[in-house]
Chain A
Amino acid sequence: AQRVTQPEKLLSVFKGAPVELKCNYSYSGSPELFWYVQYSRQRLQLLLRHISRESIKGFTADLNKGETSFHLKKPFAQEEDSAMYYCALGGSSNTGKLIFGQGTTLQVKP
């Protein structure tokens, strides 16, 4: 079964501290993994995807097929990073259909 698990509902850190938002997935095919962010009162927007291997706003995520994980990391959190973060799984069929994790609220305290 296709599934995305984000074990933490809330992650609270101080400004400047490292951040790791965990994401594990279950998928039998070739996965496409994404991280989406939703700032307060704004629409969902793409943060990054594993295919591009890019860093956005200082965030990176590496797909680990052995551990079926796609954790989101940032070495130094900023207050403006406070938001809801969703890990999402797409399939190799490239249809655009996404399965979302439960989401993790990141709270960066001053």
Chain B
Amino acid sequence: GAVVSQHPSWVICKSGTSVKIECRSLDFQATTMFWYRQFPKQSLMLMATSNEGSKATYEQGVEKDKFLINHASLTLSTLTVTSAHPEDSSFYICSPARDRGGETQYFGPGTRLLVL
């Protein structure tokens, strides 16, 4: 299967600071990257879809100015949580687009963010 990495795996920051999360697809080219958020004991909720070289598409209720997504290359997408607040504390998971054959969707290991 595909290898997807995220960095950092966990981060603690003060309220008001910005945090950047990197997602890399290590062995295939991801033209599309999905970013999900998972609150404790809840399901994954899609935040946004990023396409390489173009602006991200955000789901309803997700502030695009707060969650900046950059997909500059086929192997790297970044999510920046700007001016983080305690309610942004969550588990952020990236997922590159499916294989060309539409077979499987892979997920990163996730980044746990705690905003104090």
Among all A-B residue pairs, the 4 with the closest Cβ atoms: A96-B98, A44-B107, A96-B97, A43-B109
Q: Bound state CA distance, A49 and B42, in angstroms?
A: 22
Cβ distance A1 to chain B, nearest Cβ, rounded Å: 12
Query: Quick one: which of B49, B102, B107, B110 contacts A97, CB cutoff 8 A?
Result: B49
Question: CB distance B97 to A95 under 8 Å?
Answer: yes
Interface size (B, Cβ < 8 Å)? Answer: 20
**27 A-B residue pairs with CB within 8 Å:** A43-B107, A43-B108, A43-B110, A44-B44, A44-B93, A44-B107, A45-B107, A46-B104, A46-B105, A49-B104, A86-B44, A94-B98, A94-B102, A95-B49, A96-B32, A96-B34, A96-B95, A96-B97, A96-B105, A97-B34, A97-B46, A98-B34, A98-B105, A99-B46, A100-B43, A100-B45, A102-B43
